[in-house]
Amino acid sequence: MSSNVGSGSGSDANLAALAELLADAAGVTDAARAVQIREVRVLAAAGRLAEQQSAGADERVKAREMALRGIAAELAGVFVTTDRTLQRRIDEARDLVENYPVTMNAWEAGRITRGHVRVIQDTGCVVPAESRAEFERVAIERCEGETPNRVRDALVHLAERLHPRSFSERHEQAAAGRCVRVQAGADGMSDLIATLPSVIAEGVVDRLTRQAREIIDARPQADAAGSDDRAAETVEGARPDTAPAEAAAAGGSSFSGDTRTMDQVRADVFADLLLTGAPSLDATADDDGNGTLGAIRAKVQVVVSALTLTGQVDGPADLVGRSPIDAATARELAGDNTAWDRLLTHPVTGTVLECDAYQPTAAMRRLLRARDRHCRFPGCRQPAIRCEIDHTHAASDGGPTHVGNLAHLCKRHHDIKHHTRWRVKQLAGGLLVWTSPTGSVYREDAPPPLVAFTPATESPPATDSTAEATSALRGIRTGHDSPPF
C-alpha cells in the first residue's frame, strides 16, 4: 500500500513556497533586530544627553531628573506614548548598553533574541558589577538554541550563585519595596496588584480560599432551608413565585441561590475585607478604643449624566483617570452619597460653564476639577483629585488667580513646567497650548463631558424626571468630597 502524501509536483511547489516564506521570515527577523537595537541605542543616548545637560548645575540629582523628564516628554510625542513610559524605557536602555555590553554584542550578532536580552537583564540585575561579565558569558551560552522562557530559571540560579550577599539579606531589602498599584482594564474592570513577601502573599490567597470554600460549602444547607421555608409558606397560602424574594427580605440566608465561582467568591471576600475591615495595626488607636484609621473610606471622582442617573439610559459613567464604570454601579454610588455637584454645560459643545453644589465647598476648585478631570499635560491621565492646581501664568509674574489662568497638573508635570523649557499658554474654554523645548506644539483641550445635549427643533414628550434632568443638569459629577464615593 502506497501513499502520495508528500510527493508529486504539488508537494514540491509547497516546499518551495515554504522555503521562500522561511527566507522572508529570516529577513524580517534580521530587520526587526536591527531596528530594536537602534531604538535601544537612541534611548540610551537620550539618557546620556540628559546627564550632559545637567553637568555642573546645582543640585545635580534634581537637575538631572528634570532634564531627563524634559527629554522623555519630547520623545513621547515621537513614540506616541507617555513621558513616564519613555523615561522608564530610557533607563532600561541605558542600563542595557552600559552594563551588558557582551549581551548587546551577542544580540547584534544574531546569537540571541530580544526575549533573551530581557531575561538576561531581568535576572542579572542582582549580580554585582565585578561578576557581571562572567554571568553574561554563561547566560549567553545557555540562551543559544533555547527559548527565553526555558532559560529563565537557570539564569536565576546562576545569578544567585554569583551574588556575594545572602538571599535573606537581599529579601529584607526587597521587602522595603512592597507596594499596591492599580492597572486599569477593559469593561469597567481593573487589576489590583499587591507586591508583598511571598509568604504573606500565599497566606492572603490561602485565607481567601478557605473563606470562599466555607461560603460555597454553605450553599446546600442554605438551599435546603430555603426550600423548606418556601414549602411552609405555600401551605399557608403564600404565592410560590414570590416566596424566595419574601424569604430573603425577611432575613433568609444570603447564600441561597449563590452560583458564584471560586474565583468570584475569593474576589468578593477580598474586596469586602479591604473595604469594611479595620486594620489590625492602627497607629491612631489608644487605650480608649479603636483609632481613626479604620474609619477611612475610599475617595474617587465619578462623572455620570443626568439621564443615566435617573435610569432613562444605561450609558456608562466615567471613573476619572481610570476607565468607564457601568450605569448600575454609578447609580448605587450616587444613591449612597450625600453630596453632589451639578454641572451646567454648553448645550452644543458640552463645555462646563458653571458648577454649583448642594453643600458649601470651594467653588473655584470644584469648577476646575469638573473641567479638567485629570492632569492637563499632554497624554497624562492622573485624576484631578491627585493633582495640584497650577497658575498657567505664574502668580509671581502677575498671573491672576482665576479659572482662566488655572489648571490641574500632577506633581511630575508641575515640576516639568517650572524646571524645564516646556512652556504653556491657556486660551478660552480651558484650552492649553504646550510648546516643547524644540518647538513642537501640543493642543490640550479640556476633556468633554460624557453627555452633551444638542437642541432639537422637535422632541418627543418628556416625562417629569426627564424634563427636570435635561433642563437643570447637563452632567453630574458625584462625590469627590465624601466617603466612600
Per-residue pLDDT reduced to its tens digit, 133-143:
999 999 999 99
State the pTM of this model: 0.58
Dig out the grid coordinates for 26 from the structure: 529570516
Least confident of 89-93, 175-179, 246-250, 296-300: 246-250
Q: How confident is the model at residue 76 (pLDDT cuts 50, 70, 90)?
A: very high
Q: What CA–CA distance (Å, rounded) separates 47 from 283?
A: 42
Q: In what order do the strands lie in the sheet with 324-325?
A: 324-325, 317-319, 302-304, 475-478, 340-345, 352-357
Q: How confident is the model at residue 7 (pLDDT cuts 50, 70, 90)?
A: very low
Least confident of 74-78, 152-156, 318-322: 318-322
Has residue 226 got a pLDDT over 80? no
Least confident of 17-21, 339-343, 368-372: 339-343
Q: What CA–CA distance (Å, rounded) separates 383 from 370?
A: 11
Q: How confident is the model at residue 285 (pLDDT cuts 50, 70, 90)?
A: confident
What pLDDT was estimated at residue 363? 79
Q: Where are the alpha helices (DSSP H) in 144-278?
A: 148-162, 167-175, 198-217, 219-235, 243-249, 262-276
Q: Give mean pLDDT, residues 227-244.
A: 47
Asked if residue 379 lies in contact with residue 83, where contact means CB atoms within 8 angstroms, the answer is yes
What pLDDT was estimated at residue 458? 53
What pLDDT was estimated at residue 187? 83
256-274 in b/e form (b: 16+ CB < 10 A) is: beeeeeeeebbeebbeeee
Q: Give mean pLDDT, residues 219-231.
A: 63
Coil, helix or strand at residue 254: coil
The closest alpha carbon to 256, from 266, 246, 270, belongs to 246
